[in-house]
Amino acid sequence: MISRRIRDEEPERNQQNRNNVETPLRLLKKALNAPVTVKLKDGEEYRGILNNYDPTMNIVLDESTQVDENGNALVSFGKILIRGNNILYIVVGESGNKAAK
- The structure's pTM equals 0.72
CATH of the domain at 32: 2.30.30.100
Determine the pLDDT at residue 96: 52
**DSSP-based three-state secondary structure for 60:** strand
Residues 6+ apart with CB under 8 A from 80: 46, 48, 60, 61, 64
Mean pLDDT across 85-91:
96
Count of domains in the chain? 1
pLDDT in tens, 20-74: 677 889 999 999 999 999 999 999 999 999 999 999 999 999 999 999 999 899 9
Determine the pLDDT at residue 4: 56
Determine the pLDDT at residue 22: 78
Where in the sequence is the domain holding 75, given as residue range(s)?
Answer: 23-92
- C-alpha 19/C-alpha 94 separation (Å) is 26
- Is 76 domain-assigned? yes
- Is 79 domain-assigned? yes
Mean pLDDT across 66-94:
94
Hey, what amino acid is at 32?
L
- Is 88 domain-assigned? yes
